């Protein structure tokens, strides 16, 4: 079905009317901020490049502002909403769509594979498109990325600061363990920024849409992925300290001489900081230090 702008959930007057009729109270613990801008929602949908052979997972649909746009473009949308008081609202606002499945559950606690099997066409590619709750953005994102579910793409809204960190490149202040953890699996770019003024209620920060596309294989080949991430996280514990200082703190000062040899073999300077290393160099570093693995 197609919807006129007048019928859109995402306008201030209709949003306020829906919330008032249902006597809805915002819950700070769920980080609820509802979009009310048609242009922003259109841009999100366009960025996701949906079609009728694509399924969508949405987390935190709220009252259905973004969901409505997704339903018109995708084959099917499955939305996970943790707040049970929003369920009757969504049942009302999206009642005319037959390609919508609503799940009242915490997405971090469900077996997503079981739910994905309930799509009418589970063989279709799956994209995650969502306005993620700011208070738990990173845990949700990493949970989905590290799952074995072959999401082809993520188009998600989050605090601009977090989006910048995820998409950051080496030798920048934003670049860190989160950048590497995501970019190891996905290509990431900030698609556009979203002002705080287009939400009800308005958050205290501006937001950004981050587009992440799954790589055919991880960015670098390493001997042990768990070890790769352990070494990488260790080097960022004290950002202003040198690589060697952080490595000594993690693996023992008594091993400094051995580590210096191993770093030299990997052609990595012990005196640089972690933020200067590319992901490929982190791969070389973790392989070079594999002898320290428990």
Instruction: Confirm whether residue 60 is marked as ligand binding.
Output: yes
Q: Which own/partner pairs from 194-199 qualify as long-range (CB within 8 Å, at least 24 positions apart)?
A: 194/40, 194/157, 194/160, 198/35, 198/36, 198/37, 198/40, 199/33, 199/34, 199/35, 199/36
Instruction: Confirm whether residue 255 is marked as ligand binding.
Output: no
Range of the domain at 249: 225-292
CA–CA separation, 4 vs 135, rounded Å?
A: 33
Asked whether the predicted pLDDT for residue 3 surpasses 70, the reply is no
Residue 244 located in a structural domain: yes
On whether both 241 and 187 belong to a single domain, the answer is no
On whether both 185 and 208 belong to a single domain, the answer is yes
Domain boundary residue among 177, 193, 214? 214
Residue 14 located in a structural domain: yes
pLDDT digits (tens, 9 = 90+) for 76-135: 999 999 999 999 999 999 999 999 999 999 999 999 999 999 999 999 999 999 999 888
pLDDT score at 32: 85
pLDDT digits (tens, 9 = 90+) for 218-276: 999 999 999 999 999 999 999 999 999 999 999 999 999 999 999 999 999 999 999 99
CA dihedral (133, 138, 143, 149) positive or negative: positive
Residue 220 located in a structural domain: no
On whether both 97 and 171 belong to a single domain, the answer is yes
Residue in the structure block whose two tokens are 């969901």: 67
| CB distance 155 to 82 below 8 Å | no
On whether both 249 and 108 belong to a single domain, the answer is no
pLDDT score at 63: 95
210 pLDDT band (50/70/90 cuts)?
very high
On whether both 79 and 194 belong to a single domain, the answer is yes
CATH of residue 145: 3.40.50.150
Instruction: Confirm whether residue 106 is marked as ligand binding.
Output: yes
On whether both 269 and 164 belong to a single domain, the answer is no
7 pLDDT band (50/70/90 cuts)?
confident
Residue 36 located in a structural domain: yes
Instruction: Confirm whether residue 33 is marked as ligand binding.
Output: yes
Residue 219 located in a structural domain: no
Instruction: Confirm whether residue 186 is marked as ligand binding.
Output: no
Q: How many domains does the chain have?
A: 2
Domain boundary residue among 151, 181, 214? 214
Instruction: Confirm whether residue 62 is marked as ligand binding.
Output: no
pLDDT score at 5: 58
**Percent of the chain at pLDDT above 70?**
98
Asked whether the predicted pLDDT for residue 6 surpasses 60, the reply is no
Output the pTM of the full model: 0.92
Domain boundary residue among 165, 188, 214? 214
Asked whether the predicted pLDDT for residue 41 surpasses 80, the reply is yes
Within a 10 A sphere around the Cβ of 120, how many other Cβ atoms?
11
On whether both 58 and 180 belong to a single domain, the answer is yes
Residues 6+ apart with CB under 8 A from 114: none
Provide φ and ψ at 202, rounded to 5°. -75, 130
Q: Report cis status (omega within 30 of 0) of the bond before 241.
A: no
């Amino acid at each position: 079905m197609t919807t006129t702008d007048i019928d859109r959930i995402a306008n201030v007057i209709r949003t306020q009317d829906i919330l008032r009729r249902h006597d809805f109270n915002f819950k700070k613990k769920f980080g609820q901020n509802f979009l009310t801008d048609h242009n922003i929602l259109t841009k999100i949908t366009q960025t996701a490049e949906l079609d009728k052979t694509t399924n969508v997972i949405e987390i935190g649909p709220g009252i259905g502002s973004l969901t409505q746009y997704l339903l018109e473009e995708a084959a099917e949308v499955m939305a996970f909403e943790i707040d049970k008081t929003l369920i009757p609202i969504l049942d009302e606002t999206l009642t005319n769509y037959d390609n919508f499945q609503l799940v009242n559950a915490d997405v971090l606690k469900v077996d997503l594979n079981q739910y994905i099997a309930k799509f009418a066409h589970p063989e279709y590619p799956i994209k995650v498109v969502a306005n993620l709750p700011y208070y738990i953005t990173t845990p949700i994102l990493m949970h989905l990325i590290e799952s074995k579910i072959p999401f082809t793409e993520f188009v998600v809204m989050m605090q601009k600061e977090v989006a910048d960190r995820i998409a950051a490149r080496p030798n920048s202040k934003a670049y860190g363990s989160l950048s590497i953890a995501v970019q190891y699996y996905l290509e990431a770019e900030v698609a556009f920024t979203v002002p705080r003024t287009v939400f009800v209620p308005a958050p205290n920060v501006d937001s950004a849409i981050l587009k992440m596309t799954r790589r055919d294989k991880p960015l670098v080949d390493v001997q042990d992925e768990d070890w790769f991430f352990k070494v990488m996280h260790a080097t960022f514990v004290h950002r202003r300290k040198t690589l060697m200082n952080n490595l000594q703190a993690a693996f023992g000062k008594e091993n400094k001489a051995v580590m210096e040899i191993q770093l030299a073999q990997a052609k990595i300077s012990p005196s640089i900081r972690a933020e200067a290393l590319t992901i490929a160099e982190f791969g070389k570093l973790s392989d070079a230090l594999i002898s320290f693995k428990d």
